[in-house]
Structure 1
């Protein structure tokens, strides 16, 4: 299929720059795959569309403060370091500017912490050795790093808002490792989760650590030629068991976010996945999806089109734009069922 088939025009003023407050007051577009009808609600109305015995699967990943600033010991110039993920107690990262960096270069961070560049890789990333454990670095960046915000969010938001580390996080985030949030989960409050549980809705969890590739547009003319990025997933045995039990009693498996879809449909318990879900894909696990509104020509827009059909998705997006829905990470949500 042509990448241009997944394009649409979004007025820039509809790109949400701040989250809804409270979280579950965001708008919710119900997309019925069978009838093609669209219904406009609020996220706190979600329970009206769920049944006792349904299973909501959440991504418990946690965004860590991946943006750091360092200086070269010689010459003394400022470098931005963007940590991507750990690898064998080293870290894969991006550096800007990176042209002066080479293996053996020593970086000095604002608090005196030093690290050494071990490798410059062909994809433009570098490998950094902090001489500390992964757990120690996750703890350290919380005190010195900055929250990585999507490129379409005003970078000054983090400066203006002292609570950005909480805002750009789900209320159930647990496992550090993401450089971008699983934003479909932003709409849940602890109170809403308890309310849904009280009506018989069940919950299970996975972890998928979201990488920068989630923002990468498809640049090939055909979507089939796009090389999908890898992300690390963990689908615990307890979640597999909950899915089997849900199937046995006739309930639905509802993924909260495209990251959860990718984790569940990958068919592995733990490891890296580069699954690219495109129209024509036969879903094996997921029956319904809660998701935000995605960028044009993105792999995420292709994924939701695989579930609901491209024409219905573009119809839903057009109506959402007409009704001034808020788009992207801090924007409104849709339930595709």
Structure 2
């Protein structure tokens, strides 16, 4: 079967822009989680159904396996000060190795600058990067910390890094709400948001009735970076650490149809499928209408930012025009958007 030719329009970043009324940006999650709304698009019948997340099981195709991302969000936002007293905000992005950590710092710093935090924690700036990020080492009582030793400390003094479009400070409840109920591998600085809708009961029930497996993709802050190039294929895609479990590998190496829970699971699965079936490493896959999925059959996702790589990933499944139509329908029906917003299922 010949693949439909990709139009120039599908490659233009401007084609992925849309206007979203600010009241549709969700500042808080649905309560309970599974009471979020669910827009279901069936490609075979070209029909849209409006439902709720607790209806999800009705729409999962038979004989379909589910793959979840079990990453866990860390308290990556830290408030400290310079030795001179000037306030500094630091956002951990990702570890580069055991001790060198890529971060973003709000406030002027130079190499060898020190930032002081509670719990006798200090960060020393090692390098300044052209992309605005910084490289630091963390110390506690002058002892150089490995990333895994840093995690329990920032769990005490750090803050959940809510995305910038949620225009409020993090609250106590966000420590639980901005985590999936099955997250266990600490390392993400943004949640795999399609996963946030599952209650423990619904997740257990679905796993009992469907073959399933877990992958890990530690979501970095680059996931929020808008595409600035005029042509989407000129966008430098960010890289994130991934790990495919043995159970997921076995499933992906079979011909079982797959429903990917979220864009993060999708990027992981498709990187594995398209890059030599390597089980762990760095994934920087950019899915769009000229680079379509080859292993994922169905997608559960939230509603994404204009001009974002995540919106272009949705278009890799259904094309630009249908993506625009689905988003126009969601806006018309007043669905809630972004991390704490509603969900869409593409079957």
> What is the distance in 2 between the residues matched to 1:320 and 1:22?
21
> What is the distance in 2 between the residues matched to 1:296 and 1:103?
35
CA deviation map 1:215-241 (0-9, x unaligned)? 111111111111111111111222010
Is 1:117 matched with 2:131? Answer: no
What pairs with 1:69-218 in structure 2 (closer than 5 Å)?
A: 69-73=79-83, 75-88=84-97, 89-98=99-108, 101-130=109-138, 131-156=144-169, 158=170, 161-198=171-208, 200-218=209-227
Among residues 221, 243, 257, which one is paired with 1:252 in the alignment?
257
Structure 2, unpaired ranges of 5+: 1-10, 139-143, 273-277
Residues 245, 279 of structure 2: 8 Å contact kept? yes
> What is the distance in 1 between the residues matched to 2:185 and 2:205?
24
CA deviation map 1:141-165 (0-9, x unaligned)? 0000011011110223x1xx32211
The two structures, once aligned, show a CA RMSD in angstroms of 1.4
SS of the equivalent of 1:220 reads: coil
SS of the equivalent of 1:234 reads: strand
Is 1:265 matched with 2:270? Answer: yes
> What is the distance in 2 between the residues matched to 1:77 and 1:202?
53
Q: TM-score under structure 1 normalisation?
A: 0.93
My pick for the range that moved more, 118-127 or 232-241, is: 118-127
Q: CA deviation at 1:56?
A: 0.8
Q: CA deviation at 1:112?
A: 2.5
CA deviation map 1:107-150 (0-9, x unaligned)? 21123322322222232222211211211101110000011011
SS of the equivalent of 1:266 reads: helix
The count of residues paired between Structure 1 and Structure 2 equals 326
> What is the distance in 2 between the residues matched to 1:181 and 1:226?
23
Q: CA deviation at 1:204?
A: 0.6
**Partner residue, 1:25:** 35
**Partner residue, 1:224:** 233
Q: CA deviation at 1:212?
A: 1.0
Structure 1, unpaired ranges of 5+: none
Residues 36, 312 of structure 1: 8 Å contact kept? no
CA deviation map 1:169-200 (0-9, x unaligned)? 111111111111000001111111222234x3
> What is the distance in 1 between the residues matched to 2:224 and 2:321?
23
**Partner residue, 2:5:** none
Label 1:295 to 1:282 Cα distance change in 2 as closer, same or farther (>3 A): closer
Q: TM-score under structure 2 normalisation?
A: 0.90
Residues 218, 299 of structure 1: 8 Å contact kept? yes
Residues 287, 293 of structure 2: 8 Å contact kept? no
SS of the equivalent of 1:242 reads: helix
**Partner residue, 2:3:** none
